[in-house]
């Protein structure tokens, strides 16, 4: 997890919402993974930006959760999203994205990674199932070789057509764009 003083952790104030218990740094998540392994729970792992959670994300996460007994979601840090998507993103901060993700019933654990890829997190956790959205062919999914080498499986799950964060941002901008008055010549 990114060392961010603004990140909400399970050890935060007693008035934190119950979903704060789903927010993990990597050492704590590794301990939780070990407990799940001992209980023979099948762990599913996915990662991404998940900026502006939308119905496509929800459908994807439901489908991912059905593949196992516990779903871990690793979120890109704000810095890594800026590197991937440009200076205008993310729209929601990593703290906000973690809070939203942790509030979802199908998500069991949320963490943040700051590297260009989640490979180190995947190597640390060795999930039983690794999933990404259908825009990622299985052979290009980061961590595939690690998961398969340990007997796990990797899936590329279908996307909901016509639903993406970028499309959502463009719709918002189009609906709220102010017409530019012509200049006098």
Task: Examine residue 3 and state whether it is found in any structural domain, yes or no.
Answer: no
| Predicted pLDDT at 12 | 43
| Predicted pLDDT at 118 | 97
Task: Examine residue 182 and state whether it is found in any structural domain, yes or no.
Answer: no
Averaged pLDDT for residues 12-36 = 83
- Residues 6 or more apart in contact with residue 42 via CB below 8 angstroms: 67, 68, 69, 70, 128, 129
Task: Examine residue 49 and state whether it is found in any structural domain, yes or no.
Answer: yes
* Helical H segments across the chain, by residue range: 26-38, 55-65, 78-85, 94-102, 119-125, 144-149, 165-176
Averaged pLDDT for residues 86-112 = 94
Higher pLDDT, 93 or 11: 93
| Predicted pLDDT at 4 | 44
Which of 6-20, 90-104, 135-149 shows the lowest per-residue confidence on average (mean pLDDT)? 6-20
Task: Examine residue 58 and state whether it is found in any structural domain, yes or no.
Answer: yes
| Dist CA 58 CA 63 (whole Å) | 9
pLDDT over 90 (residue 184):
no
Averaged pLDDT for residues 156-167 = 80
| Dist CA 93 CA 91 (whole Å) | 7
Task: Examine residue 111 and state whether it is found in any structural domain, yes or no.
Answer: yes
| Predicted pLDDT at 18 | 63
Task: Examine residue 61 and state whether it is found in any structural domain, yes or no.
Answer: yes
Task: Examine residue 29 and state whether it is found in any structural domain, yes or no.
Answer: yes
Domain count, the chain: 1
């Amino acid at each position: 997890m990114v060392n961010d003083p603004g990140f909400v952790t399970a050890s935060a104030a007693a008035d934190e919402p119950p979903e704060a218990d789903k927010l993990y740094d990597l050492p704590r998540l590794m301990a939780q993974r070990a407990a799940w392994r001992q209980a023979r729970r099948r762990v599913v792992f996915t990662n991404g930006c998940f900026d502006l959670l939308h119905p496509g994300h929800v459908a994807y996460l439901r489908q991912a959760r059905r593949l196992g007994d516990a779903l871990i979601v690793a979120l890109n840090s704000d810095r890594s999203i800026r590197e991937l998507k440009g200076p205008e993103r993310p729209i929601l901060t990593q703290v906000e994205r973690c809070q939203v993700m942790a509030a979802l019933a199908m998500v069991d654990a949320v963490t943040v990674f700051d590297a260009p890829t989640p490979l180190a997190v995947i190597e640390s956790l060795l999930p039983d199932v690794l999933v990404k959205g259908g825009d990622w062919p299985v052979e290009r999914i980061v961590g595939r070789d690690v998961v398969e080498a340990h007997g796990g499986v990797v899936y590329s799950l279908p996307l909901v057509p016509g639903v993406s964060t970028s499309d959502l941002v463009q719709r918002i901008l189009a609906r709220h764009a102010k017409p530019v008055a012509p200049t006098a010549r």
